[in-house]
Amino acid sequence: MPKRILVIAPHPDDEILGVGGTILRYKAEGHSVAWIIVSEISEKAGWPAKKVIERSREIESISSMLGFDHVYKLGFPSMELDQVSTSTLVKCLSDVISSYMPTEIYVPHPGDAHSDHKAVFMAAISSTKWFRHPYVERVFAYETLSETDVGLSPDSKFDPNWFVDISPFIDKKTTSHGCIWFGDWRLSFPS
């Protein structure tokens, strides 16, 4: 029976760094996969117009490469999610969860050094309580290697107890169209 997978990413890059291979595997197996991008960059927040346009194109490219069935953009300011009330984040995430009705949800690990990741984890866990969304069967925390490995807190250690074999998908996760993607930047190779 097909699953409905929801990946919650504080920033557009956390999904590919954290569970990109898992997403590719689920898509190859015929499951539906949706993506929530919690934050965005904007000119209003001081980002150059060129970077905002470039980010939008990167999101479209990654969405196409991974084959997301739905992409939800919440539009909160990047690097300021810890300043958004938890109840506001919970409501926005819950609205998407109610609309998409996932069976499995992937959330960023709470031990991450990035405050946006911690804020999203706390809101996501509150949003996924069984009495709110009884169709959610499992919730997994994923590691985002760009941040989790730099946490100094003793409780920041990522200690997984669930593993997904992504061997057939690792090359596609790390390369696309002659590039290796690393969040906001990429290394290009000549064709």
β-sheet bridge partners, residue 106: 7, 140
Residue 185 has pLDDT above 50, yes or no: no
Residue with tokens 């690792």: 170
Q: Is 171 exposed, middle or buried (0-12, 13-18, 19+ CB in 10 A)?
A: exposed
Q: For a pLDDT cut of 90, what percent of the chain falls above it?
A: 59
101-145 pLDDT, tens digit per residue, is 999 999 998 887 788 999 999 999 999 988 889 999 999 999 887
Contacts of 36 (CB under 8 A, 6+ apart): 6, 7, 8, 9, 72, 74, 93, 96
pTM higher than 0.75 = yes
Residue 121 tokens, joined: 């984890």
Domains of the chain: 4-188 (3.40.50.10320)
